[in-house]
Structure 1
Amino acid sequence: MNLVSDNNAHLQTVKQATPQYTKSDSLKSSSATNEYFSDYASDAASQKSNSKGYETPPSRISTPLVQHHPADSEMTLPARPGVTQPAPLNIRQPQTVRLLSSFDEMSPPTPGVDDTPYVRFAIEQLTRDEDVFGRGRDSAYPAQPAQYSPAAAPVFAEDSVETLTPSPPPPSPPQQPASPLAPQIQRKPVPQEVMIPVDLSKDLRKRLGFVPLPLRLPILALYLLLCLLMIAALIFSLIFAGTNNALFDYDGNATPRYFVFQYLPQLLGILLILWLFVIEAAVYRSLPYYSMGASHRSSWVLQDMRILPANYVLPDLTFFRNREPLLGITFLVFWFANFTVPLLATLYQTQWITNDGPARFRWTAFRGVGWTLVAMYILLCLGLFYCAVRFRRRNSNLLWDPCSLADLICLFRRSNVGSDFEQSEVSPDPDAQVPPRNLSLGFFTTSERPEAFHGVGEEYAPIKRLSFRPEKPKESPHPNESGDVEAQRLSYGSAFARNLHSPFIRYRWTPWFLRDSAVLAWIIAALLLTIAFLVVSFVHRAVQNGFDPQISSVTDSSGFSPANFLYSFVPTLLGMFLFLAWQPIDMYYRAVQPFRNLSQPTGATARHSLLLSYPAYGHLRVVTRALINRDYKVACVTFISILSLFIPVLAGGVFTAVLFSSDNKVRMVASMPGYYALCVLVTIYALSYLLIWPTKKRYLPHNINTIASLLSWLYASPLLGEVALQHVETKAELVERLTGSKATPVALTGDRDSDEKGRRARRAVRRLEQGGGVRYAFGIFTGRDGKEHLGIDRLQRPGSREMLVGLTSQ
């Protein structure tokens, strides 16, 4: 049959260009560069070229002008009997070949003539370019390597006429085993870029060595001084009470002296606990980076080391697993320090004194509890001393305190571990997916770029490009059945894409104690227990009139009274449980608030998202900063945490054994001012569980306890390639670059016009930030590899579409 009509009998030469890969989708971010685009085909080609030598295809495929006899030419089609010969071929300048759009353009077949040789010849000519350039765009199977010899290649002579004479059909190329990763083009391999550590000079060494403020030696020394003062006060009380027939006379349960002996000790103790929480938080967020030093190198810093505190109701024993046994013992001592508050509540008791003047009740100190507290505070001082040694300046390679998402971006923007996190943003446990790496923190350079930069990376390891390994196309069980070629071409990312756009994956994780069933259980339990507590307290004036302690209330010579000890230690212990149980809730709301702000449809500014660092602050500072930033729920939850610390303080000192002379009986009587305050605090605490139900914007795909879990939402983000975040040397400079305003006031220059212009510029920047400015979001964005990812990026970049933030209505 004829392949070309008589009116279109001109052959157009194919314009050959250098083989290249093209992408059809235009979701590429404006900040994406060729550095991050790669393909496994080119990688495989580079590997094959290392073993077989280097072959580069010509930039233009030319045809040798070899003249053949018309009868012997291999570029002649077999002539059909009774078919009119076509017009002579007119070779024009190279143009794009127009393929037949439908079978209607083809000449009708000749009856009785076998078309197989002609069909084979036409298919071979049509697929010849694909053999040269590689696999066709819509091919469902891998292309065969091009194997052509000059003798078998078709010859096109310019301005010549080819006569169509019968000849045997051209032989088909030998079959090669199909391989989806087999290279079709041999290219010279690109030299791998390797991260090389920089030998620290005196100037570079001076820039390193940052220690977070709570772990600095002067701050720890101040805390140690307070602990030593507590030890001194305890020893003085124990010695003085044993040699002077107690301390002071008892003058009632609503006096200043009663406050000093029954409320002040545990109040001082719990304030030290609050300060200890700040120190623990600094240790948690700093330990992974200190473990990247030369003397404390660990391969699991990203996956196993927590960055959020967890040493509250139960002790955190993960330090032993992370090969930090001394730090594990230190945190075990820190956890036992929580028991100092109940013990301080039982330290001072009333004792009936008869050998020092008239018989009367006097305040005395319980020697057994007192010496136990002295030993616990000494252990606490030793733990603090170890923290000062472990986190001293020379062990630090930090430039500033890494406590926010922006700090994480600066540390990992040029790291070579990004490829380890591919598709981890939708994984339920990214820590288990990331392989171990022997990482270090400091100044690096690369084999291709001479400038030095500060960051985290694996020494002498290549910087891998972001790429996704395409899955091998599955063979259809019915070979004769036609399939969706385009669907097969894109099937490798279909499961990952479905997970990205799945609301179930996006809103999958929250801590177990904040899941719907758990929060409902907390609310029911808190309300029922509060109602029972109030009923028992005020029915028949049981607390005010006193009740039988059921055990002996006599204070012995050592200052121990069973009744006073029981009704002081147990209520304080229950109050400490309520206080410690609220701390993980408070810490979760602090840590998740940046993601909550980023999950708004309009995104959030850097000051309210990337720069937020509530977990690093103390309780009072969190409340203040949250109110300024209008994060009212965080301020409310942290304020409840502050209020809850007074529950163990009041519960430990509200009951006292009193002798009623009317019936000569001892009853446990409550100090009513303190008891009323305790009832109010317990009611507020119980009702606060109604406020902790997290909304959808506080749900995440997985946990945020480790560096790896946070990097899973940043590894493909164009934020890692932001030019504005290059060569940042201080935290103040980072804040200035992200917010567009300086952290310090503008200094007056003496020039009125210049100062006025500076003020106007500063006000314009603030208005820009308040009115929108650069906004960031948590959602689906186009990553540095040109593919969709779930994570953090600018809400919209020039030349790209806006991020998909909300998958469902909020």
Structure 2
Amino acid sequence: MGRRRHHGFTNSDQEQEASGTLTRGLGKGEIPEIIKGDVLLATSPTVKRSFSRSFSMRRAPTLNPRAALRNLGQDEANKRGEVIQVIMEERPSDVDISSIVGPSRVDTYPNKQTLQSTLSRQATAQVFYPQPNWKPFPMRWPYLTFLILLSIGLAIAQEMLYQKSTGAPLLKFEGAAGIDPLYYFVIRFVPTIITVTFGVLWQNTDVEVKRLEAFYQLSKKGGALAAESINIDYITQFSFMIPFRALHRKHYAVAVSSVTTLLAISLVPTLGAAVFQLNPDRQARIDDPEREKTITINATISRALTLVLFAIAILGCFLVYQLNTRRTGLLADVKGIAGLASMAVVSHIMMDFKDMDTAKPKDIHHKLKHRRYVLRNSSLAPDDSTPVTTQESDRYKDAHLPENPHPLMMRKEGYIPFMVGILLFIGFIPTFLFTGASVLTEKAPWVVTALAVCIKMSWGSIDTAIRMMEPYYLLSRRHAPARTLTLDYTAMSLAVRPLRALFNRHWMVFLVGWGSIMAEGLTIFVTSLATVEGREFLKTVRGEGSHTHAQSPRMPRDGGDDDDQDLFNVGLSGSETVKSFVVSLAITVFILVYMCAVATTVFARRRHPFLPRQPNTIASVLAFMHQSKMLYDFVGTAKFSNDRMTGHLEGLGKTYGLGWFDGRDGQTHCGIDEEELTGSYKHGIDYSMGNKPWSTEWQTF
């Protein structure tokens, strides 16, 4: 079918936009300030490097005058934060303009003749763009150095515990009721709390590395292919596939960060929970409850944990090197739809997304695979100076992006397996606690922790989907406030997200975010159940165990409140009391039931698609607003901070929505724009097909 056009335009802007020309400041580019090279040489002092930049790799100074001038030009652009154009050499001219640029260059530079003889006599000019290097704190060297030292410290501490355990047990006791509560807490919970927190700290870095990798690629000299930058998604992809995809694209920082984080959030808590060994074995403890018990360190698991921690430290060093030998190209954080819009209005990049309103990721990939893009002065732009070769365009055959417009965990294909997994785990708990299957946790205590880690990672997929989709869900409901455009939950840490969502009254994000925190706690409490013999608990409750009264001689025989109180303090055959066992079991079941309830709520309320495609790449988001009239409001905002951008948009007094609207070219488009829109988006229905039939070229049918 041919392209639908209006046969008459209401204003000249629409006519220009329809012909492919951006209007009212869009795509006008930047006018650099012109500086003569000799003036720059005379006035530019030596640029001192900051403490943090001293860790960056930099080439040694060169004696080449032209190269020295290029270095000065780049330093001057960085210092000003503006685009400058440096005139390398003036062609002889009959017009004397030396008075415009300052004093005589001969007096200023005695070696001017030497410089002129070295450089080409033909005038050359070079444009220099500032090269900012903003990074979020989890990507800066102090934070990463702390994580590396923490990894080494934990490895050393683990080895010291093992060496101490070989000489004498870490703890000796006859019954759990006789253990000091503080010491019990340290032994049972602190190691797991440390390993779980360790994983969360690495996760903070991993999320930021994946989120900003596209900007790193765009800021490289010569830019990057679309498939390597604006059309990549590392946030919503399956965690175990990310390192392979990153290596295929030579995104080594993402590969290293992903592997490091996977080790930190999966292996470290699993091994950390299994490293403590309760002696004697379960059957011996059941046969003789009064027998002395000890807690030691398992040699094999301890050495494995130490090696993993040292491996994480080494990978962390590689990550520091990767992140400090390249620039992000960012002046500040890029948050939300507004952040991308402000970066895309300076150049004509929006013209590359023509007719992509409802395009699938595969179609976007095939259309953009012949394009290269750069990040210059906080602005996204096509790079037409370096053509894309056939070999480069065919390098990535597959877009690797999901074609379904709805995230997997918000569809039945993801919800049902997740719920089945949760319910099976809930059923597994009483199985390994109260039946003969407890031998499994005796032989492999790490199994329970590993299953809890799998549930936590699955829940993370739900959390990621909700965080990514929330601004677009609000826009799909129409008349969303301006701050929705600057809302970005993907850039918030684990602890901040639920609080910010609660403050914003985004209840679904709050519930899921709180569930993510509880999922970390699930690992802690499930681990404490692995060494409990549930059948002993049942006997104790029924008063059948011979050890019950032996450990609580003051327990009255006539029942009552005192009887119940003393019952909670009775020790079981392991390192748990009745009270600690009941509390751990209750919290574990509560967390799992909470996950079931929230996941069901998410599926019930958000299972229907409300977007043509997932907004998981820069290209996908830009395609939603390439013809939006609201882009006029973003002209000149490329260097705004998030707070300033929010204030700027709120000052306009506009509301925004996602749906069908009349674009700047007068045609009907689907995407994000200021209200009033012409219609809401209904998945599978093309509003433009039934709207304005008089503007359709019927002769093409």
Q: Structures share a fold, TM > 0.5?
A: yes
**Residue in structure 1 matched with residue 340 of structure 2 by the alignment:** 408
How far 1:790 sits from its partner (Å)? 0.9
The DSSP-based 3-state class of the residue aligned with 1:691 is helix
On the 8 A contact 2:480/2:655 being kept in 1, the answer is yes
Q: In 2, distance between residues paired with 1:277 and 1:735?
A: 28
Q: In 2, distance between residues paired with 1:287 and 1:326?
A: 8
How far 1:331 sits from its partner (Å)? 1.9
Q: In 1, distance between residues paired with 2:457 and 2:241?
A: 9
1:546-565 alignment, distance < 5 Å: 547=436, 549-550=438-439, 564=442
Does the C-alpha gap of structure 1 residues 314 and 650 become closer, same or farther in structure 2, counting only changes over 3 Å?
farther
Q: Please list every run of 5 or more consecutive structure 1 residues that lacks an aligned counterpart in the other structure.
A: 1-21, 41-191, 444-453, 463-506, 552-562, 741-768, 797-801
Aligned partner (choices 4, 18, 36) of residue 17 of structure 2: 36
On the 8 A contact 2:9/2:15 being kept in 1, the answer is no
The DSSP-based 3-state class of the residue aligned with 1:211 is coil
How far 1:455 sits from its partner (Å)? 0.6
Q: In 2, distance between residues paired with 1:726 and 1:303?
A: 20
How far 1:514 sits from its partner (Å)? 2.2
The DSSP-based 3-state class of the residue aligned with 2:486 is coil
Does the C-alpha gap of structure 1 residues 27 and 218 become closer, same or farther in structure 2, counting only changes over 3 Å?
farther
1:321-470 alignment, distance < 5 Å: 321-325=248-252, 327-337=254-264, 338-351=266-279, 360-392=292-324, 395-429=327-361, 430-443=364-377, 454-459=378-383
Does the C-alpha gap of structure 1 residues 206 and 305 become closer, same or farther in structure 2, counting only changes over 3 Å?
farther
On the 8 A contact 2:219/2:329 being kept in 1, the answer is yes
Q: In 2, distance between residues paired with 1:232 and 1:307?
A: 33
Counterpart of 1:437, as a letter, is R
The DSSP-based 3-state class of the residue aligned with 2:262 is helix
Q: In 1, distance between residues paired with 2:342 and 2:244?
A: 30
Q: In 1, distance between residues paired with 2:198 and 2:423?
A: 30
Greater helix proportion: 2
How far 1:550 sits from its partner (Å)? 4.2
On the 8 A contact 1:431/1:708 being kept in 2, the answer is no
Aligned partner (choices 484, 493, 501) of residue 626 of structure 1: 501
**Residue in structure 2 matched with residue 647 of structure 1 by the alignment:** 522
Q: In 1, distance between residues paired with 2:353 and 2:300?
A: 55
How far 1:213 sits from its partner (Å)? 2.3
Does the C-alpha gap of structure 1 residues 197 and 388 become closer, same or farther in structure 2, counting only changes over 3 Å?
farther
Alpha-carbon displacement from aligned partner over 1:650-674 (angstroms, at most 9, x marks no partner): 22222327799979xx977863332
How far 1:582 sits from its partner (Å)? 0.6
On the 8 A contact 2:277/2:298 being kept in 1, the answer is yes
1:197-212 alignment, distance < 5 Å: 200-202=74-76, 204-205=78-79, 207=81, 208-212=132-136
Does the C-alpha gap of structure 1 residues 200 and 698 become closer, same or farther in structure 2, counting only changes over 3 Å?
farther
**Residue in structure 2 matched with residue 754 of structure 1 by the alignment:** none
Alpha-carbon displacement from aligned partner over 1:275-310 (angstroms, at most 9, x marks no partner): 222211111121111112335843123454215254
Alpha-carbon displacement from aligned partner over 1:558-600 (angstroms, at most 9, x marks no partner): xxxxx6451x201101111111001011111011111011111
On the 8 A contact 1:439/1:458 being kept in 2, the answer is yes
Aligned partner (choices 626, 636, 645) of residue 715 of structure 1: 626
Q: In 2, distance between residues paired with 1:708 and 1:39?
A: 19
Counterpart of 2:219, as a letter, is G
Report % sequence identity. 19
Does the C-alpha gap of structure 1 residues 645 and 458 become closer, same or farther in structure 2, counting only changes over 3 Å?
same
On the 8 A contact 1:297/1:439 being kept in 2, the answer is yes
On the 8 A contact 1:278/1:616 being kept in 2, the answer is no
Alignment of 1:305 onto 2:232: yes
Q: In 1, distance between residues paired with 2:236 and 2:319?
A: 16
On the 8 A contact 1:647/1:678 being kept in 2, the answer is yes
**Residue in structure 1 matched with residue 156 of structure 2 by the alignment:** 232
How far 1:806 sits from its partner (Å)? 4.5
Does the C-alpha gap of structure 1 residues 403 and 372 become closer, same or farther in structure 2, counting only changes over 3 Å?
farther
How far 1:322 sits from its partner (Å)? 1.2
On the 8 A contact 2:14/2:664 being kept in 1, the answer is yes
Alpha-carbon displacement from aligned partner over 1:536-564 (angstroms, at most 9, x marks no partner): 47xxxx63xx857548xxxxxxxxxxx64
Alignment of 1:246 onto 2:169: yes
- TM-score when scaled to structure 2? 0.66
On the 8 A contact 1:281/1:308 being kept in 2, the answer is yes
Moved more, 381-390 or 513-522: 513-522
Aligned partner (choices 221, 245, 254) of residue 318 of structure 1: 245
Counterpart of 1:351, as a letter, is N
On the 8 A contact 2:213/2:254 being kept in 1, the answer is no
How far 1:212 sits from its partner (Å)? 1.9
Aligned partner (choices 388, 393, 408) of residue 512 of structure 1: 408
Task: Please say which structure displays the higher CA radius of gyration.
Answer: 1
How far 1:705 sits from its partner (Å)? 1.9
Counterpart of 1:211, as a letter, is K
Aligned partner (choices 196, 200, 205) of residue 274 of structure 1: 200
Q: In 2, distance between residues paired with 1:549 and 1:696?
A: 39
On the 8 A contact 2:216/2:327 being kept in 1, the answer is yes
**Residue in structure 2 matched with residue 172 of structure 1 by the alignment:** none
Counterpart of 1:333, as a letter, is T
How far 1:26 sits from its partner (Å)? 5.0
**Residue in structure 1 matched with residue 482 of structure 2 by the alignment:** 606
Q: In 1, distance between residues paired with 2:573 and 2:32?
A: 73
- TM-score when scaled to structure 1? 0.58
How far 1:534 sits from its partner (Å)? 6.6
How far 1:508 sits from its partner (Å)? 6.4
The DSSP-based 3-state class of the residue aligned with 2:357 is helix
On the 8 A contact 1:290/1:296 being kept in 2, the answer is no
Q: Please list every run of 5 or more consecutive structure 2 residues that lacks an aligned counterpart in the other structure.
A: 22-26, 34-72, 82-131, 282-289, 387-402, 537-544, 548-571, 686-701
On the 8 A contact 1:399/1:729 being kept in 2, the answer is no
On the 8 A contact 2:253/2:323 being kept in 1, the answer is no
Counterpart of 2:511, as a letter, is C
The DSSP-based 3-state class of the residue aligned with 1:441 is strand
Does the C-alpha gap of structure 1 residues 698 and 615 become closer, same or farther in structure 2, counting only changes over 3 Å?
farther
Does the C-alpha gap of structure 1 residues 413 and 638 become closer, same or farther in structure 2, counting only changes over 3 Å?
same
Counterpart of 1:234, as a letter, is Q
Does the C-alpha gap of structure 1 residues 547 and 708 become closer, same or farther in structure 2, counting only changes over 3 Å?
same
Count of aligned residue pairs for this structure pair: 518
Counterpart of 1:687, as a letter, is A
Q: In 2, distance between residues paired with 1:237 and 1:275?
A: 23
Alpha-carbon displacement from aligned partner over 1:323-379 (angstroms, at most 9, x marks no partner): 2246424422322322111110011112359xxxx9832221122212221221222
On the 8 A contact 1:595/1:698 being kept in 2, the answer is no
Q: In 1, distance between residues paired with 2:636 and 2:161?
A: 57
Does the C-alpha gap of structure 1 residues 248 and 533 become closer, same or farther in structure 2, counting only changes over 3 Å?
closer
Q: In 2, distance between residues paired with 1:423 and 1:696?
A: 27
Q: In 2, distance between residues paired with 1:316 and 1:378?
A: 20
How far 1:640 sits from its partner (Å)? 1.2
Q: In 2, distance between residues paired with 1:248 and 1:588?
A: 45
Does the C-alpha gap of structure 1 residues 414 and 696 become closer, same or farther in structure 2, counting only changes over 3 Å?
farther
The DSSP-based 3-state class of the residue aligned with 2:601 is coil
Counterpart of 1:702, as a letter, is R
On the 8 A contact 2:277/2:296 being kept in 1, the answer is yes
Does the C-alpha gap of structure 1 residues 351 and 695 become closer, same or farther in structure 2, counting only changes over 3 Å?
closer
